[in-house]
Amino acid sequence: MYPGSTIGVLGSGQLGRMLALAARPLGYHIHIFSPERDTPAGQVADLEICAAYDDLDAVRAFARGVDVVTYEFENVPAATAVACQEFAPLRPGPQALHMAQNRLREKTFFVENGLPTAPFTAVHSLTDLQNGLVQIGCPAVLKTAVSGYDGKGQIKLMHPDEAEAAWQAVGQVDCILEGWVEFEREVSVVAARGLDGRFAHYGVIENSHANHILDVSKAPADVPPDTAKEAVAMAQCVLEALDVVGVLCVEFFLTGDGRLLLNEMAPRPHNSGHLTIEACVTSQFEQQCRAVCGLPLGDTCYRQPAAMANLLGDLWDIRRKGAKEQRGEEREGEVDWTAVLRLPHIKVHLYGKREPRPGRKMGHLTALADSVGEAERIVREARALLGY
């Protein structure tokens, strides 16, 4: 699909927004499909179609009006994806969606392809959980098989006696029990595969989390060259096994003894890759556009080391509380962006979300510098100026 074609996006969050902004310079049009209006992606799209994902007539009408369909989150119903495929190519294909939507399927897929993970077992009942704790031992983590992200649907068990309470807490739904991993750090590889099978990657990105939500990412990660090479090779294995055309991220635990364990994957651009917008010749979003449209993949070289810090809805909550304590000095809940916009090395990205909530990703900051450590220092200090 050459420039001038239309990309259809299932989902309307910040990833769709940044894809739309990256597709604009290449001359592409963007149509968004989601159940909500005035969304981050819809605000910058040519057309925002508001309908339920299970409204397959609306889905088919959407697909008829575009040249290719992609998605910006992986919880798109399978029937929606299949309906789109009747009229336009879906990239990445439904197999990647199918694997990423269920943690048990995902982990099983990793193992079947010779990729290392933490020990795990399927849990469909309290008895399964109790037996699993005997098999895997404690501590362990019970995770719902579907619909969990940013730490939701996860419970750490320190003792087998906690099994019944944990089973009740997750709602007695299908789960996966995983052995606890004492990792040194968490890293990710964002990579792309083109329609011609070409593979490109952004190296290894190091991530730190707060309350199970990604907090700061920095790249290139400080890992041994052999470790970086191994992580990239594992990511390439995932993309090729799933025949992915598009962008996919693989997240890893790196243990103290240097082992990489696959944690999960996302068949789309990833929060940890946002720093590529400023840091790389071709961002992960332009790469997604290129891949799904069948164009040659772009150069992924880093211009400079980079770091990114998330801005959560908690920031607005902090400002709201401050306003109540100092009435008349600022409007309630308003953030003073001039504090960071004065800084020459900081880029501010805000997602256009109308309602800030604690834990909700509202935007991010990116800094480039001569070293990764300096970039991280700059971005953390910039965020602190906002009172966060």
Contact partners, residue 188, CB within 8 Å, separation at least 6: 204, 205, 207, 217, 249, 250, 251, 252, 270, 272, 273
132 and 38, same structural domain?
no
What's residue 333's pLDDT? 57
Domain boundary among 145, 164, 179: 179
pLDDT bracket for residue 319 (50, 70, 90): low
Q: Are residues 307 and 368 in the same domain?
A: yes
161 SS3 class: helix
Residues 315, 190 share a domain: yes
pLDDT on residue 52 = 97
In which domain, by residue range, is 222 found?
A: 183-385
CATH number assigned to the domain comprising residue 130: 3.30.1490.20
Contact predicate 11/73, CB 8 Å: yes
Return the CATH number at 62. Answer: 3.40.50.20
Is the alpha carbon torsion for 227, 229, 232, 234 positive or negative? Answer: negative
pLDDT tens-place string over residues 86-101: 999 999 999 999 999 9
Query: Is residue 66 exposed (0-12), middle (13-18) or buried (19+ Cβ within 10 Å)?
Result: buried
Same-domain check for residues 261 and 310: yes
Rounded to whole angstroms, the Cα distance separating 379 from 388 reads 12
- Does 244 lie in the same domain as 305? yes
- The reply to whether 189 falls in a domain is yes
On the question of pLDDT at 332 being above 50, the answer is no
Q: In which band, very low, low, confident or very high, does the pLDDT at 151 lie, cut at 50, 70 and 90?
A: low
**pLDDT, mean over the chain:** 94
324 falls in which pLDDT band (50, 70, 90)?
A: very low
pLDDT at 149 over 80: no
What is the chain's Cα-based Rg?
Answer: 21
The answer to whether residues 253 and 321 belong to one domain is: yes
Q: Among 39-43, 200-204, 323-327, 362-366, which stretch is predicted with the lowest mean pLDDT?
A: 323-327
Together in a domain, 192 and 146: no
Calculate mean pLDDT across residues 15-37: 97
At residue 213, does pLDDT exceed 90? Answer: yes
* Residue bearing the bigger pLDDT, 319 or 241: 241
Q: In the listed set 162, 179, 196, which residue is the last one of a domain according to the structure?
A: 179
Q: What's the confidence (pLDDT) of residue 387?
A: 84
Report if residue 222 sits inside a domain: yes
Q: Which of 2, 14, 15, 59 is nearest to 34 (CA)?
A: 59
**Residue 92 identity:** P
More confident residue, 317 or 309: 309
Residues 238 and 325 in one domain: yes
Angle 284-292/14-23 helices, nearest 10 degrees?
70
CB crowding 271-285: b at 16 or more within 10 Å, else e: bbbbbbbbbbebbbb
Q: What percent of the chain has pLDDT over 90?
A: 89
Task: Examine residue 213 and state whether it is found in any structural domain, yes or no.
Answer: yes
The average pLDDT across 222-237 equals 98
Name the domain count of the chain: 3
Residue 321 has pLDDT above 70, yes or no: no
State both tokens at 49: 């179609």
pLDDT for 335: 84
Tell me: pLDDT of 6 over 90: yes
In a domain, residue 98? The reply is no
3-state SS assignment for residue 121: strand
User: Is residue 113 situated within a structural domain?
Assistant: no
18, pLDDT greater than 70: yes
Taking the C-alpha atoms of residue 47 and residue 252, their distance in angstroms, rounded to an integer, is 37
Q: Select from 55, 54, 57, 59 the least CA-distant residue to 9.
A: 59
280 and 350 assigned to the same domain = yes
Is position 110 within any domain?
Answer: no
Closest CA to 245 of 23, 71, 16, 76: 71
Supply the pLDDT for residue 323.
Answer: 47
Can you give the pLDDT at residue 327? 46
Same domain, 207 and 167: no
Could you tell me if 363 and 217 lie in one domain?
Answer: yes
Q: What is the CATH number of the domain that holds 315?
A: 3.30.470.20
Residue that terminates a domain, selected from 179, 194, 217:
179
Q: Both 244 and 377 in a single domain?
A: yes
Please state, as a whole number, how many other Cβ atoms lie within 10 Å of the Cβ of residue 82. Answer: 13
pLDDT band for 177, please (50, 70, 90 cuts). Answer: very high
